[in-house]
Amino acid sequence: MSDIFQFNGAAGSGWSQPEPILMDAVETVPESLRRTNLPEWPRASEPELVRHYTWLSQRNFGIDTGFYPLGSCTMKHNPRINERIVQLPGIDRIHPLQPEHQIQGLLAIFYEMQNMLEICSGMDQVTLQPVAGAQGEFTAIRCIQEYHRSNGENHRDKVIVPDSAHGTNPASAAMCGYDIVEIPSGEDGRINLDALRAAVGEDTAAMMITNPSTLGIFEPEIAEAAEIVHTAGGQMYYDGANFNAILGKTDPGRMGFDAVHYNLHKTFSQPHGGGGPGSGPIGVKSHLAAYLPSPLVDRESVEDGGATGDGYRYFWRTPDKTIGKVQQWHGNAGAVVRAWAFYRRYGRELELMSEHAVLNANYLRHRIMNPDSSTLERIPAMPVDGAPAEVVKHEFTLSMQPLKETTGVTGKDIAKRLLDYGYMSPTLYFPMIVPECLMIEPTETESREVLDKFAEDFLAVLAEDAEIVTTAPHNTDVRRVDEVWAARNLILRHPGSE
């Protein structure tokens, strides 16, 4: 693979480094720590540089390139207006250490975002500090842990998760030192209340659950589950990664939850993928608010109208029994501002977003599961619906097990072959309770034409010769990679660097 270090200045250099201004300071670095050789920086001319990065960008697949049905990741369009707003000088050119009176505008946005998230989740206080869903989970479980400790309930050392849970749920609880109790889902893929009753006890600290679940189905007995856990003295944690299905329709507060995280980078359109940047705010009911990480944004009325003219002065506040900081500065400010812009743009129409997300998922599921008879004749084995429910929410799962048994073609083969057709592959082998699982989430920002074409291509792949599918992808820059090798043998430095 070609990289930026291939350029050596033969075509001239687009830019040269200025001499260090603080030569005196350089002199103070101890001799033993100084470089003996000059670093070998790449030296590219401007056209070389532009071509290089354009070439790199074209080797990548993103939501701006094509349909990205990666289940549980909510890869929706990122409106460009959000980028314009986040680049306004009053937002883009400020430093996190600037005094409060100089950043009243940003603090007002933070405050409003906290408030809007409180309203749509039915929680009493939100913090914007965590920068990923998983970090939000960890933060909220730490607050729950401190709450139990301050009630003298140190013995509560177990967190319950259903077997359909996202892997980050048990991982976050384990990082807080909890033991994990996994409960099996019922035959309909939903939470099994009898299994829950058998699992709760005096040692239950919390239950973590996603609703709609990772099978894309809503848990109608969620209030009963909350009552079972609360009666045992535990707390209810709502994994809000699937908020795209319920926003404006219902909220975790109403379902009986005590804490929730949001994935702003999913539901609220912050660009993500490739590891970030994300934002995973959490909301809690009032009994947990004192433990939230510091600082939060608060406000007080002022007579002179305040710097933003809305009658308030905004300031950072540290909750009384805070668990401390979970992130440097104040979280991912840019991600919060983009999400705020998205939220303000939708306003009260936010529930339309969820309606369309659910409609699109059900439409695509129907198109795939009900091909016309001539297509069906060519498919050796149809997938099994992973969610035995009439209607799903924002995503659905398909099991490729029958295809594997009939032809040897696996879910992974289908996922790889879809790359050849110009799609990102669906989420693979998750949730683990569905054998040979593909998880598909179209989001609300795709048109009916895109969904029709994807269904047609998906069915075409199912009907293809096994040899073509099992050796896919054929048209991508990189063919099949050995993911296990890549994960076990991390190469984190440029091969040329020492």
Residues of this chain that interact with ligand PLP (CB under 6 A) are 72-73, 132-134, 166, 168, 210, 214, 239, 241-242, 263, 278, 280
Alpha helices in 133-263 (DSSP H): 133-150, 168-175, 193-199, 222-231, 252-255
300: helix, strand or coil: strand
In terms of CB distance, is 189 or 280 closer to ligand PLP?
280
Please state the closest distance from residue 191 (CB atom) to ligand PLP, in A: 15
In terms of CB distance, is 192 or 263 closer to ligand PLP?
263
In terms of CB distance, is 216 or 371 closer to ligand PLP?
216
Positive/negative CA dihedral, 405, 411, 417, 423: positive
Please state the closest distance from residue 272 (CB atom) to ligand PLP, in A: 8
**Contact assessment for residue 310 and residue 144, using Cβ atoms and an 8 Å cutoff:** no
- Return the residue nearest ligand PLP (CB atom): 133
Please state the closest distance from residue 182 (CB atom) to ligand PLP, in A: 16
Please state the closest distance from residue 167 (CB atom) to ligand PLP, in A: 8
Q: In what order do the strands lie in the sheet with 179-183?
A: 125-127, 282-284, 259-262, 235-240, 204-210, 158-162, 179-183
317: helix, strand or coil: strand
Please state the closest distance from residue 165 (CB atom) to ligand PLP, in A: 8
CA distances from 349 to 222, 266, 381, 437, 442 (A): 26, 18, 41, 33, 20
Please state the closest distance from residue 136 (CB atom) to ligand PLP, in A: 8
In terms of CB distance, is 261 or 313 closer to ligand PLP?
261
In terms of CB distance, is 146 or 239 closer to ligand PLP?
239
In terms of CB distance, is 170 or 319 closer to ligand PLP?
170
Place of tokens 């401190």: 146
Peptide bond just before 431 cis, omega within 30 deg: yes
- What is the rounded CA–CA span in Å between residue 242 and residue 74? 8
Q: In what order do the strands lie in the sheet with 427-428?
A: 384-385, 396-399, 437-440, 427-428
In terms of CB distance, is 121 or 263 closer to ligand PLP?
263
Query: If you write DSSP's letter for every residue of 227-249 in order, what string do you get?
Result: HHHHHTT-EEEEEETTGGGTTTT
C-alpha triplet 218, 222, 225: angle, nearest 5°: 145
Please state the closest distance from residue 466 (CB atom) to ligand PLP, in A: 31
Tallying the residues shown for the chain, one arrives at 498
Cβ neighbour number for residue 23 with a 10 Å cutoff: 8
In eight-state DSSP terms, residue 18 is P
Please state the closest distance from residue 132 (CB atom) to ligand PLP, in A: 4
How large is the angle between the packed helices 350-369 and 333-346, nearest 10 degrees?
90
**Contact assessment for residue 63 and residue 75, using Cβ atoms and an 8 Å cutoff:** yes
Peptide bond just before 184 cis, omega within 30 deg: no
Please state the closest distance from residue 72 (CB atom) to ligand PLP, in A: 4
Please state the closest distance from residue 82 (CB atom) to ligand PLP, in A: 18
Please state the closest distance from residue 295 (CB atom) to ligand PLP, in A: 22
- What is the rounded CA–CA span in Å between residue 135 and residue 157? 20
In terms of CB distance, is 241 or 341 closer to ligand PLP?
241
In terms of CB distance, is 319 or 431 closer to ligand PLP?
431
Helix or strand holding residue 296 (H, E): strand 296-301
In terms of CB distance, is 121 or 168 closer to ligand PLP?
168
In terms of CB distance, is 166 or 404 closer to ligand PLP?
166
